[in-house]
Chain A
Amino acid sequence: MATKTQQKTTWMTIRPRFLPLSLKVDRRAPITALIILMVTLVVLVFSISYGEYDITPWEVLQTLTGTLPDDHADARNYNLVVHTFRLPRILTAFLVGMALATSGAIMQGITRNPLAEPGILGVSAGAGLAAVSIIVWLDNVPLSLLPWAAFGGALATAVAIYVLSWKQSGSAPIRLILIGVAFAAVLGALTTFMLVFGDINDVQQAYVWLAGSVYGRNWEHVHTLGAWLLVLLPLAIFSARQLNTLGLGDEIARGLGTRVELQRLLLLVISVALAAAAVAVAGTIGFVGLVAPHITRRLVGPSHEGLIPITALFGGALLVLADLIGRSIIAPSELPIGIVTALIGAPYFVYLLYRYR
């Protein structure tokens, strides 16, 4: 006598009718995604409207959708400001946030430590050093080359960290993190050295880049980063299962048939690539990869099917907001986005540590 109790579960299944596909996702995920997206759009519009050149949000919408009346006095200016300056910049911030948040989520998954993120693990520093080196040594570096250089630097760093933390028992998460911290320190020092003695004319500008900034980012940046995300983000989302099993511990993961070391390495490569692309476009921005997954976990639970996509959206939203704050808080001057994330992210993270110890 099997009575099926139709009680509401916390999860839902996705089984499209004509595709051999099936997926289980936390019920909270789609709704949360929608909410975050809507909030992001609102913040986006407001962010575009804010600036030295004031445009009302309604006019922003009109400009974006191309419905600005032809006889509008400042139509040409609006188009310029919105489409050439602000939109690409804010979109860059969004994409960078997506990349960093996802990278952080993956790193936390493979190290089983909620305190891991590309900045802390020195991966961002490796990417930054490579990018700065290229800029210093070569003239007229094409933008599309930078993410590859950054990826090379970040990957070399990640592999070095991985190899150095390897013992016969495997790559214990604690060692991974501590060695990552060491790398971050020395790579940061080398980057400073490059900047101090390199030919970058404006040292101040170099500092800004290092601090992480989306100032002056244009459509080329958006396209470059967008291309990398197009490949990497789906890979990350589809790796959810592997991340879930790794989260249960190496032994149980092995018992379930996971090839633990191989999976960890592959996932590391994906997260490093994400971080590197972000650094190449916007410099070393910290704390997004730390805070975004943390908050997302509280919203939709630790299962990565929902965690990865929502974290990506949330990270994007956070950076769009951070960019707005950076532009408005000491207007007309601009606080680089990386500094905003550090100034807000660090205390917030300490607060999280305190509340959930």
Chain B
Amino acid sequence: MAVKTKQAASNTTRLLSSRALLFPGLLITALLLLVCLMWSITLGAADITPEVVFAALFSFDQSEFDHLIIQTVRLPRVLAGALVGAGLAVAGAIMQGLTRNPLADSGILGINAGAAFAVVLAVYMLGNPSLSVYAIAALIGAAIAAVFVYGIGSMGRGGPTPLRLTLAGVILTAFVSSLTTAILIQDQETLDQIRFWTAGSLAGREIPLLVQTAPIILAGIVGSFLISRQITTISLGEDVAKGLGQNTLRVKLYGAAMVVLLAGGAVALAGPIGFVGLIIPHVARFLVGVDYRWIIPYSAVLGGLLVTIADVAARIALRPQELPVGIMMAILGAPFFIYLARWKVRR
């Protein structure tokens, strides 16, 4: 089996064609991410120079106003963005690998909507829930959504084709967001609290929420990496994987659990943000080929990069107004989705 995946990894054309380039490439991308994170911290209502940012991070002075802003407002926000991007990208990579659907992502398949609804419901019923409730609700919502969309998408001969899964996701999203809207209409208070969040936003992400959700997302990323070899195999085709002796059901369940952790955690942190999980796996595949041992780490870093850049764009575009990053991602992501639908999907 190792031979097969090695062959698969070397047979496809990828940008970093030499294996020796893969690790350095990852480091360089990670470095790029750090640079962008720094850049993002410098931007805001009042721009702060990089020197001050460094000072705030490494020689924190509590009396400095700028330092406070950085530590309590910007740093959490920026870290949240990176985490959310990483989590959603890896979730997308897993979904695309498991379902062999180039159009899979937690937004399209309704998993984000399910998690978001669960959170809205929790806020509605519990008034002002503790942060761990946010996270737990999101996870439950994501799990139920995943079960539903896979079930609906698998009905009919031929199983879960890309078209069926996408439509299942659309139907699920429509249903769930109607429920969400129904609640928001009922309750002005709930609406005010999470209006921005439902569009997908990194504004006002505070440290406590970050602390609650970061472990979930990180666990999801690490857990995904642990089964990267199995995912590579199953992405060659379910029959092929079974023929090679893999227990595909277990892999799929485990993979789904990782998706739930990642998507649920991301939604709890920043609301439903789509298209990250759609775009990044394709970019990663373009760079490193089909081996998930590399796709997953690259996706994580690239995902963080994409969301960070998108957030910067969202904050700059309509200064001083702030555009929710979810909307920016939709604007960036839709053309890519169209490109995929046009060129990459066969019947």
Query: Which of A182, A286, A335, A346 meets B337, CB within 8 Å?
Result: A182
Can you spell out 25 A-B residue pairs with CB atoms less than 8 angstroms apart?
Answer: A119-B174, A120-B167, A167-B342, A174-B163, A174-B345, A175-B341, A178-B341, A185-B108, A185-B330, A189-B327, A192-B199, A193-B327, A196-B324, A203-B191, A204-B185, A207-B185, A208-B185, A211-B181, A336-B182, A343-B179, A343-B182, A347-B175, A350-B152, A353-B156, A354-B155
For window 279-333 of B, CB contacts with A under 8 Å fall at: 318, 321, 323-324, 326-327, 330-331, 333
Query: A353–B103 Cα gap in the complex (Å)?
Result: 21
In the bound complex, do residue A185 and residue B274 qualify as a contact, i.e. CB atoms below 8 Å apart? yes
A residues whose Cβ falls under 8 Å from a Cβ of B: 115, 119-120, 164-165, 167, 172, 174-175, 177-179, 181-186, 188-190, 192-193, 196-197, 203-204, 207-208, 210-211, 286-287, 333, 335-336, 338-339, 342-343, 346-347, 349-350, 353-354, 357
In the complex the two chains form, is B185's CB within 8 Å of A186's CB? no
Q: A179 and B155 in contact (CB under 8 A), knowing A189-B327, A211-B185?
A: no
A185-B167 contact given A178-B103, A178-B345, A346-B174, CB 8 Å threshold:
no
CB pair B184 A207 closer than 8 Å: yes
Contacts of B342 in A (CB 8 A): 164-165, 167, 175, 179
Name the distance in Å between A354's Cβ and chain B's nearest Cβ: 6
Can you add 19 more A-B contacts, CB < 8 Å, to A186-B331, A204-B185?
Answer: A164-B338, A175-B345, A177-B167, A178-B162, A178-B337, A179-B337, A181-B167, A183-B338, A185-B274, A190-B327, A204-B184, A286-B174, A287-B174, A342-B178, A343-B179, A349-B171, A357-B155, A357-B156, A357-B157
Interchain CA distance A173-B29 in the complex, whole Å: 39
Chain A min CB distance to B316 (Å): 16
Contacts of B324 in A (CB 8 A): 193, 196
Query: Number of residue pairs across A and B with beta carbons under 8 Å?
Result: 126
Using C-beta atoms within 8 Å of the partner chain, give the interface range for chain B.
35 or more
Residues of B139-163 contacting chain A, CB below 8 A: 152, 155-157, 162-163
Cα distance A181–B278 in the bound complex, in angstroms? 14
B219 on the A face (CB < 8 A): no
For residue B154, give the distance in angstroms from its CB to the closest CB of chain A. 9
Residue of B nearest to A212 (CB): B178
**Chain B: which residue is nearest A205 at the CB level?**
B185
Q: When the two chains form the complex, which single residue of A182, A193, A197 contacts B334, counting CB atoms closer than 8 Å? A: A182
Interface centre among B174, B181, B188, B324, by most chain A C-beta atoms within 10 angstroms, is B174
Assembly CA distance A95 to B327 (angstroms): 33
CA–CA, A190 and B328, complex, Å: 9
B227 shortest CB reach to chain A, Å: 29
Q: Given the interface contacts A196-B195, A203-B195, A346-B174, does A182 sit within 8 Å of B152 by beta carbon?
A: no
With known contacts A115-B167, A179-B342, A342–B175 Cβ distance under 8 A: yes
* Pairs of residues from A and B, 4 with the lowest C-beta to C-beta distance, nearest first: A189-B330, A342-B178, A186-B334, A346-B175
Q: Is the CB of A346 within 8 A of B163?
A: no
Query: Which partner residue on chain A sits nearest B334 by CB separation?
Result: A186
- Judge whether B186 is part of the interface by a CB distance below 8 angstroms: yes
Complex-state Cα separation, A175 to B337, whole angstroms: 11
Say if the beta carbon of B250 comes within 8 Å of chain A.
Answer: no
The residue that B331 contacts in the complex, of A115, A181, A189, A196, with Cβ under 8 A, is: A189
Task: Give min CB distance, A124 to chain B, whole Å.
Answer: 11
User: A residues within 8 A CB of B191?
Assistant: 203-204, 207
Taking the nearest CB of chain A, how far is it from the CB of B79, in angstroms? 25
* Contact assessment for A178 and B152 in the assembled complex, using a CB-CB cutoff below 8 Å: no
A346 to B327, CA, bound (A): 25
Check if B347 sits within 8 Å of A174, measured CB to CB.
yes
Q: How far is the CA of A5 from the CA of B317 in the complex (A)?
A: 76
- CB pair B330–A204 under 8 Å, yes or no, is no
Q: Which of B170, B326, B333, B334 contacts A120 (CB 8 A)?
A: B170
B232 contacts chain A at the CB level, 8 A cutoff = no
A290 to B256, CA, bound (A): 30
- Using Cβ atoms and an 8 Å threshold, which residues of chain A touch B274? 185
Q: How far is the CB of B112 from chain A (nearest CB, A)?
A: 11
Whole-angstrom distance between the alpha carbons of A204 and B191 in the complex? 8
Decide yes or no: A339 and B178 within 8 Å by CB, A182-B337, A197-B321 being known contacts. yes
- Contact partners of B334 in chain A: CB under 8 A: 182-183, 185-186
Q: B326 touching A182 by the CB < 8 A rule?
A: no
A353 to B347, CA, bound (A): 19
Minimum CB–CB distance for B162 against chain A, Å? 8
Residues of B107-121 contacting chain A, CB below 8 A: 107-108
B180-238 interface (Cβ within 8 A of A): 181-182, 184-186, 188, 191, 195-196, 199
Give the Cβ gap from B335 to chain A, nearest Cβ, in Å.
Answer: 8
Which residues of chain A are within 8 angstroms of B321 by Cβ–Cβ distance? 197
Inside 8 A of B174's CB, which chain A residues have their CB? Answer: 119, 286-287, 342, 346
Q: Is B269 an interface position by the 8 A CB rule?
A: no
Instruction: Kindly name the residue among B170, B195, B347 whose own CB sees the greatest number of chain A CB atoms within 10 A.
Output: B170
Contact in complex: A346, B172 (CB < 8 Å): yes
Whose C-beta in chain B lies nearest to the C-beta of A350?
B152
Contact A181 B171 (CB under 8 A): no
Q: Which of B166, B184, B191, B338 has the most CB of A within 10 A?
A: B338
Residues of B within 8 A of A354 (CB): 155
> Which residues of the other chain, A, contact B167 by a CB distance below 8 angstroms?
115, 120, 177, 181
Interchain CA distance A192-B324 in the complex, whole Å: 10
In the complex, are the beta carbons of A181 and B326 less than 8 A apart? Answer: no
- Give which listed residue, A179, A181, A207, contacts B181 with CB less than 8 A: A207
Give the chain A neighbours of B181 by CB distance below 8 A.
207, 210-211, 336, 339
B338 with A179: CB separation less than 8 A: yes
Contacts of A189 in B (CB 8 A): 199, 326-327, 330-331
Decide: B155 and A335 in contact? CB cutoff 8 A.
Answer: no
Query: A204 to chain B: which residues have CB within 8 Å?
Result: 184-185, 188, 191
